Structure 1
């Protein structure tokens, strides 16, 4: 009888170790497709390839526009850096053949809808 109780205990213990058929977790976690939007107060580094005289750091004014050589009052607010670079390229095609522009955001402020403010004493 002791042998039967021992065997039953071992069988029950091993049965408790059996795995269930659970679905596997997805291999890649879903990453939201987020692109930073330029806002007033951001400092942008505009790089024009092979034209260092046109490359410079410019602030986005409170009205959401920026000004650089050959480009006046370009609206930057609400655009991501890639879209802004393409728009600058379009404007520079009047003066430069096949311009290649890169826009890098140096100091992030962002649009007011994405800012967090803490007020109080």
Structure 2
């Protein structure tokens, strides 16, 4: 399938620099069939995907599903990511699990010696901050 800027005609998949006929009909969300030189009218997207530009990566998931970093659609985000609208976004670097993007949204911490307190990863009992001295 072609990059959207190619309007369905291209020499290489998903490459906007190789459009061969930018005046032709844009095929998305369906793929361009180079043999018939027309759009395929059956979607070939991954499961639970409403918009795709190839058969293995989704661009927009069906309602109730999140777009994961691997461009698949899932009812939940993978560990280390949180749902933001319809996509999964990476947690803050302090968080191994989270509810949002900041360092105060952690539900689990990357450092096993830290525990989330009001969403912030703080030293667990028996540990203290190393001042670097």
TM-score band by shorter chain is under 0.3
The structure with the larger Rg is 1
More strand by share: 2
Structure-2-length-normalised TM-score? 0.23
Of structures 1 and 2, the one with the larger relative CO (CA 8 A, separation 6+) is: 1
Q: Name the TM-score, length of structure 1 as normaliser.
A: 0.24
Structure having the higher helix fraction is 1
